[in-house]
């Protein structure tokens, strides 16, 4: 990949994908040695020099821009960080962070309605590329090396022992946290007392002779309802 600019905060940037170009890349992405993704927009290229606005972002946000879900302006302001401004004047790069180039009314920022306005399939390859760049989050606990563990019991009326917890530096130990049971259904139970059946002692299934056991398989079509343009639609839905 072609080297672009070296930033003190993020290291050497390399131009990765050019999304829009004229005689020079206008909208492009960069990566650094850590595979962080940056969006770059060339906002000036004339006799005064070149200026780029760069933001550290991610593959998902770039895909959203390519799908016209967000504008280029939104990608820079809302879906990226760093607010990097790079000027190329007199054969040298000048880097600044969060300067006036990033002010809301800055003439260097893309306009409010700056969508990519892509045609169908125009960025399909880039969308697949940036979608695959997102790192995979493992669910399997075996992939995670244990680094901390804490356990505690919660008993009503027992206050936290602050002094004992002061030495809980490695996040391993016992804690006690008071709790309270809230009877949110008590009123309901009292109102329905007269109607409740006294079924006696709760027992497990083993004490009941099995008289019926079946599973049901129902097609979703059978459960659904098609509502036509009739006056009694609401009655049917109920």
Partner 1 sequence: MGNFNSVLTLQKMVFDRIEFDRKGFKNTNELKFGLQVQIGLDKNDTYKVTLVLNGTKQDEYNMEISLSGFFKVEEQEKLDDKMVQDLINKNAVAILMPYLRSELTLLTAQPDTDSVVLPPFNINKMFGN
CB burial class (10 A; 0-12, 13-18, 19+) of residue 190? exposed
Pairwise CA distance, residues 117 & 136, whole Å: 30
- CA nearest neighbour of 56 among 9, 1, 105: 9
Q: Is 148 in the site for partner 1 (CB under 8 A)?
A: yes
The span of 111-119, 120-128, 166-174, 221-229 binding partner 1 (CB under 8 A) equals 166-174
Under the binding rule (CB under 8 A), the answer on residue 60 touching partner 1 is no
Q: Measured between alpha carbons, how far is 149 from 172 in angstroms, rounded to an integer?
A: 5
Q: Determine which residue in the list 112, 113, 119, 149 makes contact with partner 1, applying CB under 8 A.
A: 149
**195 binds partner 1, rule: CB under 8 A:** no
131 forms part of the interface with partner 1 (CB under 8 A)? no
- Using CB under 8 A as the binding rule, whether residue 96 contacts partner 1 is answered as no
State which of residues 89, 94, 96, 177 lies at the interface with partner 1 (CB under 8 A): 177
**Alpha-carbon Rg for the chain in angstroms:** 31
Q: Which residues contact 114 (CB under 8 A, 6 or more apart)?
A: 71, 72, 73
Query: Residue 149 CB, nearest distance to partner 1 (Å)?
Result: 5
The footprint of partner 1 (CB under 8 A) covers 81, 135-139, 141, 143-156, 160, 162, 165-169, 171, 175, 177-186, 189, 201-202
């Amino acid at each position: 990949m072609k080297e672009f600019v070296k930033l003190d905060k993020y290291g050497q940037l390399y131009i990765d994908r050019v999304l829009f170009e004229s005689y020079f890349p206008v909208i492009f992405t960069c990566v650094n040695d850590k595979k962080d993704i940056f969006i770059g927009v060339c906002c000036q290229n004339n006799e005064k020099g070149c200026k780029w606005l760069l933001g550290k972002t991610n593959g998902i946000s770039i895909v959203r821009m390519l799908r016209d879900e967000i504008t280029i302006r939104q990608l820079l302001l809302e879906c990226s960080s760093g607010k990097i401004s790079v000027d190329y004047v007199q054969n040298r790069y000048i880097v600044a962070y969060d300067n006036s180039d990033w002010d809301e009314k800055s003439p260097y920022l893309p306009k409010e309605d700056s969508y990519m306005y892509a045609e169908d399939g125009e960025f399909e390859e880039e969308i697949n590329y940036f979608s695959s760049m997102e790192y995979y989050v493992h669910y399997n606990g075996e992939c995670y090396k244990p680094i901390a563990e804490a356990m505690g019991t919660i008993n009503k009326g027992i206050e936290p022992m602050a002094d004992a917890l002061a030495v809980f530096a490695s996040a391993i130990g016992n804690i006690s946290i008071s709790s309270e049971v809230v009877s949110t259904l008590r009123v309901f139970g009292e109102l329905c007392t007269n109607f409740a059946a006294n079924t006696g002692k709760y027992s497990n299934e083993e004490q009941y002779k099995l008289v019926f056991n079946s599973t049901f398989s129902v097609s979703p079509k059978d459960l659904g309802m098609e509502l036509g343009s009739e006056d009694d639609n609401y009655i049917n839905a109920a």
